[in-house]
A and B are shown apart, each in its own frame.
Chain A
Amino acid sequence: MNKIFSILNFALQSLALHKLRSSLTVLGIVFGVASVITMLAVGEGASKAAQDSIRKLGSTNIIVTSINKQEEDEQEQRVRSYGVTYEDISRIKTAVSNYTNISRQRIYEGEIQYYSNETETTVIACDSDIFKVNSISLKKGRKLCDLDLRNKNNVCVIDGSLSNELFPYQDPLKQKISFRGSYYQVVGVTKTADMSQNFSDFTVYIPFTTALSNHGEIIFNQVNGAYSFEKVDAHKLIIKLPDTAAVYSAYQKVQRIMKHGHPVQDYEIQVPIKLLEQAAETKRMFSILLGSIAGISLLVGGIGIMNIMLATVSERTKEIGLRRALGAKRKDIIIQFISEAIVLSLIGGLVGVFLGILVPILITTFTGIETQLSMFSIALAFLISGLTGVIFGSYPAIKSASLSPIEALRDV
């Protein structure tokens, strides 16, 4: 232990003798290690963000979205008709297993009123399964149920932030809000905003059947001052399968069914789990790429160390000869030079780790890009910098020790 300490002490003293040269050598390792950690943190952060957003869609879901493929000028006055039809839905229902939750969605954009209070919202007409397929949980009251749909009840579930907006000081339950001339009694409040929706604004859920009877088959929407009339049976159809294995076979069935009645592909089928797999594959590619870049930068750092150690050896041949004369064995000389190389690269590693922790934090604070530091990458970078020292320090060390004492001493 004492011996190790004095070896390190010797190494530090020798390196301190050439501070500038030592620190320039260290720089190569510093940047190598810092870039490894930073790149892995950025890569990890990006893939985590991607995976999170995919998971929000539901990893056992299949989502069929209606898409309007008609030309702009065609749209002017006519009622646009496109997307998922009732026929598609009933075929899909019969094709997929019983353990499946399905929810249709019709989406209305408009204002809801509570006395004189008017608020822009998204009103989603849906089946009772929506709470299962989109994993929506309630803070208060109850969900929509099959009875609501069968009886076309004028009830709604509103999201938590809308509840705070409309009813800051009162109990939202049993209150009635109006939408396009129909009143809906609030029966439940959701805990969080529905993450599967792209809009972050207020959401109101009403029974699908109630919406049809109150507002008709034609959907009128006014977005940014432009009117549109649409004949769409469902804007979205979300199918939740019992497990991931069922997703693939269901996906093929849904694909076949949808192809059948749609000469123009006015729909899109999303399978989050496939996206997740793609994300994993992308991440793998990304890691290989980053790994190679990191490897190259560490290699460059390592060659820098070897270069400096070689220069040091020829400069210090006389010192080697002296130490041999004073009783140093070959292995003592090897240990000395390798430990100098290791000290150099570990100092570089430490500073590099410090920078590698700092830079991702700076990136996140200044650009908002998500980064994810992992202990693994820090350990890896540090280990590699240590190994770089051993590997690239060995050759100069062995070379220096191979000299006979008198050859080394005579060197001027």
Chain B
Amino acid sequence: MIELQQLEKTYQIGSQTVRALRGVEMIVEAREYVAIMGASGSGKSTLLNMLGCLDLPTSGNYLIDKKDTSSLDDDELSELRGKKIGFVFQSYNLLPQFSVLENIKLPLFYQNGVDAEASHQRAIKLAHLVGLGERLEHKPFELSGGQQQRVAIARALINDPLIILADEPTGNLDSHTEQEILDLFETLNKQGKTIIVVTHEDIVGDRAKRVVTMKDGNILRDTKHETS
């Protein structure tokens, strides 16, 4: 479903060149649950940004559903993000002026031909799924960190994306709340969602079905544990 071919990313800072990704090769199939791990600065976030089409590679190819993304222009990339990718960030990134329900519905605003009533019902269903059915009208600042991250997950699901990308989604949460979020991911994966999580915590990696370990911009190890 997803394929990376010789993906390179270099940053130019003044005269200095940082090679964040050095020819990454990776294939992720549908329904996989992947954790990307590795030391700080190893290129995990850079890789995830490439997967989310938030940034463009310096060289190499990135194929989604066998379609090369390098041929897409800015508008098409936006459309691709909107339709096929759901993001979950470490800092939740909810809009403070909007309620829980409005935050969940935000991605629909950039989709054409959405049925307002159906999507409203869908947003309510998702809020219930993440356990916030009673808090639809609350504003983000009235929620705990764990609850905010649940809103963000519901928002990532609203367009029924192919894949969910999460960069340190539990980085700001205590271990109990972390477990709840991981439970939620597991449920979603069982329901058929493809999930890729960047983390440096073993607890998170242990819950995934496949762990990709990075070092200095390359994949060091790629292990699948079929259990769990």
Contacts and interface: CB of A to CB of B under 8 A. Distances in A.
A6 interface: yes
Interface residues of A, number: 24
Given A17-B97, A325-B81, A409 B110 contact: no
Given A327-B159, A329-B110, A405 B97 contact: no
Contacts of B78: 324, 327-330, 332
A319 B106 CA distance: 12
Contact of A2 (B82, B83, B87, B116): B116
B97 to A, nearest CB: 4
A135 interface: no
A123 to B, nearest CB: 80
Nearest to A322: B93
B97 A330 contact: no
B55 A404 contact: yes
A13 B54 contact: no
Given A325-B81, A327-B159, A409-B54, A332 B110 contact: yes
B52 A325 contact: yes
B226 interface: no
Nearest to B86: A326
A404 B52 CA distance: 13
Contacts of A325: 52, 54, 81, 87
Interface in A329-345: 329-332
A329 B74 contact: yes
Contact of A329 (B79, B93, B97, B106): B79
B49 interface: yes
B75 interface: yes
B98 A13 contact: yes
Contact of A327 (B55, B74, B83, B93): B83
A411 B93 CA distance: 12
| Dominant secondary structure of chain A at its interface with chain B | helix
B110 A328 contact: yes
A16 interface: yes
B82 A16 contact: no
A289 to B, nearest CB: 43
Report the contact-size class of chain B (Cβ under 8 Å from the partner): 20 to 34
B198 to A, nearest CB: 14
A14 interface: yes
Contact of A326 (B55, B96, B106): B106
A406 interface: yes
Given A326-B106, A406-B49, A14 B54 contact: no
A327 B79 contact: yes
B110 A327 contact: yes
A13 B97 contact: yes
A318 interface: yes
B111 interface: yes
A211 B2 CA distance: 114
A116 B225 CA distance: 128
Contacts of A329: 74-75, 78-79, 110
Contacts of B97: 13-14, 16-17
A326 B75 contact: no
A229 B170 CA distance: 110
A328 B54 CA distance: 12
B53 to A, nearest CB: 8
Interface in B148-185: 155, 159
A16 B82 CA distance: 27
A11 B91 CA distance: 24
Interface of B: 49, 52, 54-55, 74-75, 78-79, 81-83, 87, 89, 93, 95-98, 106-107, 109-111, 116, 155, 159
13 contacts: A17-B96, A323-B110, A326-B107, A327-B78, A327-B82, A327-B107, A327-B159, A329-B75, A332-B78, A332-B110, A404-B54, A405-B54, A409-B54
Interface of A: 2, 6, 10, 13-14, 16-17, 318-319, 322-332, 404-406, 409
